[in-house]
Structure 1
């Protein structure tokens, strides 16, 4: 009795299975063609649905909690804000780690979840805990969630080309018109403004005048707050007509601020202008935004949501910019500072060129060496079907079309072509040997 080693036995079994598979395919060639066409059609649909981006998103699945408390030192922020938040955010399901940073007037808490956790489920769990943690924070301090975007979500930077308009007006235009319009675009998580001056009424109090009139600083602050507000009354009817009573008190000019009363001396009201100087100025800045060394600029950063198609969102933002442009003042236009769609489109074009070059090269080689256009056609057909099928798998595993994945597909085209050439050449050799045996 001859014993056959297990490796050789398994090799025979695999060879027999391959032979049966080839025989079955040849006998049912129309079914095989139908399956191939179905895979190709499904793959084309998968290509359209697959999100396109320039780089793969390898950032953590995290939720950011931001808290602001102006004028407080990092140590106070750590003790009274950061520590209570971190302590109460512990124990949330699927949390991998929690990191925190305290700085002057600001606190950041980063809750990192498992990669499989849904980001919006995670944000809702964090909000539930924040409702309880709110009671442990100082009065008037409200933590907020960061945008539902990732570290690679900055897909478009733009500036306003507004010659002759001061930086304060540009920033107001950005914050109250442009930003609000772009945030309505589907797939946009946030539009972060940068540059310029945020307008504000500035009241510079003279302490000597406060002492002269014997008016405490808290009374001035209370007067300014209480005199910048509309108040509601009630509705009453007179002669069959209804009247709504309300008080108009919002500040509209510097004069309104200057005329706010803060005290009375001998029946003579003391106004803000008697104890302070009022002016329109910009909020304190920690830096400036300079573009190409040509001076300061005002603009915004468009942040994309999780899992969105970057190329699609960018084009939607550009279309929205064209609509917003119609309402901008004369001479004001958008200037794109960073556009990721250029890199995305170049990556897609590279794969297309590689695909076309491979198909042409394979056709020439097969026709020259085998003198068979049918063999060349069979190899060429394999390329688009295989690539389309690969996008089905990309969608199944949640992988976007980016430089990494598209480069892998471009490299795989060479393997597909090599396999096709080897199989076709082997088929021609076996057919030639069979013909020679028949002749002899």
Structure 2
């Protein structure tokens, strides 16, 4: 806290009484030291281990009971020679905003605490204190780091929702099958919910980097599901799984390179990569076990070959294939253009 003026105890001695009692400044100082002293007597062993035994005198603020000296068998206490009061100290500096005295209170949170939760609790508490304060005392927020985090989380939520909608729309436009898209939705839901449970068990907190990792992995999860759905719909087996496993292993291997970075650089990326690794691992398990089982209850029929296509459509496909083959051949001969 900055800007506040501390309070202090002010003790005023009666010079005449001190002089008549023959009390010196050293005796008064020694009386205070003795009254609030703390001594270590030794060590003792308990069930919790070794503990230090301390002797501590009274620590209350009843200065009047402090014995100062013994004069002819009469104990003179501080109340007999002095008075005291608790008052605001003289300011050593001024902190002002727009000409008004200002006190700045900085609130820090523990590394394991949730920034948004703590910020919300502090704001609620300050609002309660404001209600009971005089009208001339107002409270305001000079800087709130949770606003940036909240804004970024809002952007990530929107991007994640758009990512899911665009991917599902793309899947539906390509296959034009509600059953196909329903399987994708079920697969994605099971993957995300299971991943959230693993995050909880692994102690991975949900923050900006983990949400970004979830968003990035959604496309890979859907790709894995599409490959297995298409293969199982055509061949009724799981022989596509080794190819899916190899692709996922390549991605995971590339992400593991982050662990080789210096500690300072990889600090914010560790949770990011572990979220993606967990999601990819779950997508492999789900593609091998869940999708084939689900397709037994929700069969998907895919159009195959050139059955049902008109001659005009076939000619259009052939022209496009010839154009694409020519483009690929030109690209191979002129690699320098792309390099």
TM tier, smaller: 0.3 to 0.5
TM-score by length of 2: 0.45
The structure that is strand-richer by fraction is 1
Larger radius of gyration: 2
The structure that is helix-richer by fraction is 2
TM-score by length of 1: 0.36
